[in-house]
Amino acid sequence: MVFSVWFAPLRRVGLLALYAIGLGFFTSPVVAEVLGEPLLDKTLLERLTLTPGALQQAFPGAQEVVFVDGRPPVVEVWIDGAVAGYLFSTRDAVNATGYSGVAFDLVAGMTMEGDLVGATLLYHHEAIIGRGVPQEKMDEYIASIAGANLRSFSSIRPDLLSRASTSGRLMKRGLLNSAEMVFQGHVLGVPPVTEPTLDRGGFAPFSFEELVTGGSILNQAVTNIEMFELFQKAGGRGSLPDQAFKDGEDGVFFELFTSLISPASIGANFFGDVKYRRYLEDEPEGGLTLWVAGDGEYSFASNSHFRKANDYLFDRLKIVQGGLEIRLTRDMHRRLAVSRGPSLDHRNIMLFHLEADLGLDPLAPFNMVLMVAGKDGDGAPMILDVPMTYQLPERHMLLPPPVPLPMWVETWLEKRVDIAILGLLLIVVTIIFLLQDVLTRHRRVYEFVRVGVLAFTLGWLGWYAGAQLSIVNILAYIQAPFEGTSIEAFALDPLIFILSLYVAFTLFILGRGVFCGWLCPFGAFQELLHRIGRFVRIPQITIPPTVLERLWVVKYLVAIFLVVTVFFSVEAAERYAEIEPFRTAITVKFARDWQFAVYAAGLLSIGLFVERAYCRVLCPLGGTLAILGRFHMFTWLKRRHACGTQCRICESECPIGAIQTSGKINMNECLQCMDCQAAYYDDHQCPPLIQRRKRKELGKTGAAKRPGQVSSPAEDGQKNALRHRSGSHG
């Protein structure tokens, strides 16, 4: 393992020289990350040579390092002539991947006691780090790894990464799995257990009683009367020998103890270490040793195994496992002359050594079958098999580490409260749409509900939970079939995943408006700000429909550009997707470089003068959803014959100009805000309803007013519409 005496110092000098060259240039994980994927072609030692900070941080006193190409490959760190620990990489050990689906290279140091002493993230491709979540947070998270140990990883806190906590969890799991592999393979020097095996060498102290009650030793007894009944059930009359009943019905017909004593935690406890080892000397290689002790009227051992005529077989005892039957012979057995305390004070105590090629599986249950001689119904001799099942307890087995819950399940469990709240929000929005005809008839209630949902969407969904659906998500879904991204990878972010499913469903049913009108945090931000602006009477700019129609095209062009770009370069597409201000305004709440903050704030400011300006003109997500939702099944927004012909109040009521002069709603642009529906049902705003109301009122009073005193329904409607849009309903 260690190089020859003269070569080691030379190598040390060489490595230290390389460290010195690298020092100052490559000491931070950030710089290492910039080195990027080409590093992954190199061995761990070569990668460490380029990032000496990793070694220094984990083992400051390191004097020598040795690359060990084992399973997994590690770098052995020597201090004062002894191995102080190992440096290992998650990539080399388990090839753990991050949220991006790309393997990260997290190098950690571990002592011989299993303590983690430092870690460095050499490479990752988690897009949100450095953009949504600051690099300092990642550094803080990586620093929290030092201090953990194999028994407890709880000090490693993925929540430090807030919105990148899924990446953090994946790194933590990759680290844990790798550390266990390194400890098992390099510190303990035993190959990792991949399937259950008999634990022959592991020892834990157990008393005889504990071995019996824990199932390590099978103990079964049958009384005379029970044996008699067993024979009767089998159509026989009774057992031989006749003296079986000499102690009466409740006398013990037989009692059997049996156990596999090959595991030290049974055999050494039972016989003591010295005798146990002596007995094992006769155990065939890879074979098993079975201990059997019997008592009672009926001995499990007649003298048949001494008789050649019987082929030296034990005629009263055999082993059955599934279709396998093993007959015990004289050659296998060894009578134990020694009794050891009252527990072993039985008439017959024997060991049986079983060759491996007999095929007995020590981990599976098998039956010790006592063959009891008796008489059948006609008085002729018969043999009754009495099986007793033995199952070696798991504590005497080496089991592979339990398969952890899939990562996405763990994440869903962890975020179950958020998932429940999102579920409630989606139920509320669904109910709003199902009952929109009822809701919009009551303008005040509708306004209250709308502002309430928008505030919740912005505050909880966006700012608190960070579940702002983005064009980046749509690009990832588009890429999935080509990249082979599994559905589990998407499920790692449960809120976005659930939201995406809901949006896909509602796109198909009603179009883009369910999301854009109610569930987009940035859309809600714009609308709430605009409402405040209207309230404080910020002047509003109305874009002429002909200009607006041309501006709408921009967002479709941006969307198409991004979708095409992603097929050439995911990184470029993600960079251009910064046209969305979502990450800045919602995910990190403006805690970002000033250019991004100014951009997002600028868009929001424009929205004070032109309602939902960003949604209407620029938003690639809105554009993509409009394209995907183009052939939705239903349109629940109501229109009248008079819309666009005799009246254009709804057109002026629509905050985003989605109602054409013909009165038809352009569903590609419509946000399903339902403002026009509130006007539609308002008998003080919608002229046909005003007319109907007035006719009713006239009918009630029976008095006709003079024409000069009566305003026309359209005039009334216009006045009320102006009042609503000027903020009195906002």
Question: Which chain residues interact with ligand SF4 by CB under 6 A?
Answer: 516, 520, 522-523, 614-615, 619, 621-622, 637, 653-654, 656, 658-659, 665, 670-676
Min CB(463)–ligand SF4 separation in Å: 15
Of 504, 485, 491, 630, nearest to 566 by C-alpha is 485
Report how far Cα 713 is from the mean position of its chain's Cα atoms: 60
536 Cβ contact partners less than 8 Å away, ≥ 6 residues apart: none
Beta carbons of 279 and 271 less than 8 angstroms apart = yes
Min CB(437)–ligand SF4 separation in Å: 13
3-state secondary structure of 403: coil
Of the pair 363, 449, the CB lying nearest ligand SF4 is at 449
Q: Spell 486-515 as b/e; 16+ CB within 10 A means b.
A: eeebbbbbbbbbbbbebbeebbeebbbbbb
Q: 140-147: long-range contacts (C-beta < 8 A, 24 or more apart)? A: 141/168, 141/171, 142/29, 142/106, 143/119, 145/108, 145/116, 145/118, 145/119, 145/175, 146/57, 146/58, 146/116, 146/117, 146/118, 146/119, 147/115, 147/116
Q: What are the strands, taking DSSP E only, across 127-260?
A: 197-198, 218-223, 236-239, 252-260
3-state secondary structure of 655: coil
Q: Which amino acid is at 537?
A: R
Of the pair 83, 516, the CB lying nearest ligand SF4 is at 516
Would you tell me how many other CB atoms lie within 10 Å of the CB of residue 726? 13
Cis before 241? omega within 30: yes
Q: Count Cβ atoms within 10 A of the Cβ of residue 237 and give its class: 0-12 exposed, 13-18 middle, 19 or more buried.
A: middle
Min CB(620)–ligand SF4 separation in Å: 8
Would you tell me how many other CB atoms lie within 10 Å of the CB of residue 580? 25
Of the pair 76, 675, the CB lying nearest ligand SF4 is at 675
Q: Which residue has the tokens 């749409």?
A: 433
What gap in Å lies between CA 592 and CA 585, rounded to an integer?
9
Min CB(571)–ligand SF4 separation in Å: 23
437 Cβ contact partners less than 8 Å away, ≥ 6 residues apart: 638, 677, 681
Min CB(426)–ligand SF4 separation in Å: 16
What gap in Å lies between CA 429 and CA 510, rounded to an integer?
13
3-state secondary structure of 441: coil
Min CB(678)–ligand SF4 separation in Å: 9
Min CB(597)–ligand SF4 separation in Å: 17
Would you tell me how many other CB atoms lie within 10 Å of the CB of residue 73? 18
3-state secondary structure of 491: helix
Q: Spell 163-201 as b/e; 16+ CB within 10 A means b.
A: bbbbbbbbbbbbbbbbbbbbbbbbbeeeeeeeeeebbbe
Min CB(470)–ligand SF4 separation in Å: 9
Min CB(515)–ligand SF4 separation in Å: 6
Q: Which residue has the tokens 């919740």?
A: 456
Q: What are phi and psi of 238, to 5 degrees?
A: 165, 180
Q: 640-644: long-range contacts (C-beta < 8 A, 24 or more apart)? A: 640/680, 640/686, 640/688, 642/687, 642/688
| Encoded tokens for 212 | 């019996």
Would you tell me how many other CB atoms lie within 10 Å of the CB of residue 337? 6
